[in-house]
Copies of this chain bind each other. A is one copy, B any other.
Amino acid sequence: MARTNERSQRGGHSGVSIEDVAAAAGVSTATVSRAVRGLPRVSPATRQKILDVAGDLGYVASSSASGLATGRTKTIGVLAPFVSRWFFSKAIEGADRELHARNYNLSLFNLGGHGSNRERLFSKTMVYKQIDALLVLCMALTHEELEHLQKIDIPLVVVGGHVEECAYIGIDDYAAASTAVRHLIDLGHRDIALLHGDDETDLNFDVPRVRILAFKDVMMAAALPTRPEWDEWGDFTVPSGQAAFRRLWSKPGAKPTAIFCASDEMAMGVIFEASRLGVRVPEDLSVVGIDNHDFAEAVGLTTVGQRPDEQAELATKMLLDELDGQIGSVQSAVAPHELIVRRTTAPPQS
């Protein structure tokens, strides 16, 4: 490389290395390394001196250098299909809590909005040799992507959805959806519509399917019909819920008295649109969602709540424990969900 041989070329604080500290403290770099990392084999006096010197020299170890030497980057990757949707942003916050507490960095890989060159993530830019472990926020992975991840055998856990052969943390979607639907039925509803999540985009996976299945099973178990014309879909967003309601309500024929939505954002979409069209909630239509979105309480939305932040936090903890040598820490776990009854559900009118 042959740079200038002199230190502190740049005027500032920028380039203080372990050697500078060693020199200033009159010890070897090895001792500085031990001292600053809190390792044993350094006398209290020496350590203190080194810490002082390091302190006012503003020394911080180069992550690249220590990464090279140790093989650890001290950062974990978080792979998400979106960051501005509730589930993901909450999960990211949760992961960050644990990472921050344990002095790791969080490298965010957003798969959304990148069109097709998604694969680049898996080969060059990303993952590979940049991170010590990977947290995947629910989404489908292609078979190829999976293989890729498997090859670089770093700890890996997925939150919020199932990926074959991977540890996952998440609620029991079947049970959660069943709870929501059963709540409607217990209220006396018989004409229940379904607003299910989209099945088609490659960013989704089987959560939508499971929730649909639960809906149908519960309805069937209650000997209630499920009408195809009351089966709408959305992509988990508010606008898609809004559009779905508009479609549903513009159809000729009888109207349902309740609707089960596969996410709170979609549920809010139907509520907003219902209000706009003069359809009263819950008098004319009961609405239940899944998630307990930050806005759900303000909207009065009845929902089955989950805590993506806690799920991601737990997942991250597992990852970090595994890295700390506690092998076997990474394992699947089911997270709790809970029915939260608010003001958007009520017995059907008459």
Interface residue A275 (Cβ < 8 Å from any Cβ of B): yes
CB pair A107–B110 under 8 Å, yes or no, is: no
Partner of A93, one of B69, B73, B84: B84
CB proximity of A265 to chain B, nearest CB, Å: 8
Interface residue A316 (Cβ < 8 Å from any Cβ of B): no
CB pair B69–A67 under 8 Å, yes or no, is: no
Contact mask for chain A residues 56-78; partner B; CB cutoff 8 A; 1 contact, 0 none:
00101111110111000101000
CB contacts (< 8 Å) of A100 on chain B: these are 110, 114, 121, 125
Partner of A96, one of B75, B108, B153: B108
Q: In the bound complex, how far is the Cα of B294 from the Cα of A237, in angstroms?
A: 9
Contact mask for chain A residues 285-327; partner B; CB cutoff 8 A; 1 contact, 0 none:
0000000001101111000000000000000000000000000
Contact mask for chain A residues 112-127; partner B; CB cutoff 8 A; 1 contact, 0 none:
1110000001011110
CB contacts (< 8 Å) of A258 on chain B: these are none
Interface residue A272 (Cβ < 8 Å from any Cβ of B): yes
Interface residue A103 (Cβ < 8 Å from any Cβ of B): yes
Q: In the bound complex, how far is the Cα of B86 from the Cα of A238, in angstroms?
A: 14
CB contacts (< 8 Å) of A275 on chain B: these are 275
CB pair A129–B63 under 8 Å, yes or no, is: yes
Q: In the bound complex, how far is the Cα of B331 from the Cα of A180, in angstroms?
A: 52
Contact mask for chain A residues 121-145; partner B; CB cutoff 8 A; 1 contact, 0 none:
1011110111000000000000000
Q: Nearest CB to that of A64 among chain B residues? A: B67
Q: In the bound complex, how far is the Cα of B133 from the Cα of A144, in angstroms?
A: 33
Q: Nearest CB to that of A273 among chain B residues? A: B298
Q: Nearest CB to that of A97 among chain B residues? A: B113
Partner of A60, one of B123, B237, B273: B123
Interface residue A28 (Cβ < 8 Å from any Cβ of B): no
CB proximity of A119 to chain B, nearest CB, Å: 12
Q: Nearest CB to that of A240 among chain B residues? A: B298
CB pair A238–B298 under 8 Å, yes or no, is: yes
Interface residue ranges of A226-251 to B (CB < 8 Å): 237-239, 241-242
Partner of A62, one of B68, B86, B343: B68
CB contacts (< 8 Å) of A151 on chain B: these are 12-14, 58
Q: In the bound complex, how far is the Cα of B43 from the Cα of A139, in angstroms?
A: 42
Given contacts A65-B68, A92-B108, A152-B14, contact A272 B298 (CB under 8 A): yes
6 A–B contact pairs at CB < 8 A?
Answer: A75-B107, A83-B89, A103-B124, A108-B108, A268-B298, A272-B299
With A10-B153, A100-B114, A105-B130 known, 11 other A-B pairs at CB within 8 A are A63-B64, A63-B67, A63-B130, A64-B67, A65-B68, A83-B92, A84-B89, A97-B114, A100-B125, A106-B109, A272-B300
Which residues in A have some Cβ–Cβ distance to B below 8 Å?
A: 1, 10, 12-14, 58, 60-65, 67-69, 73, 75, 82-84, 86, 89-90, 92-93, 96-97, 100, 103, 105-110, 112-114, 121, 123-126, 128-130, 151-153, 237-239, 241-242, 268-269, 272-273, 275-276, 294-295, 297-300, 343
User: Top 3 A-B pairs ranked by shortest CB distance?
Assistant: A64-B67, A84-B89, A13-B151
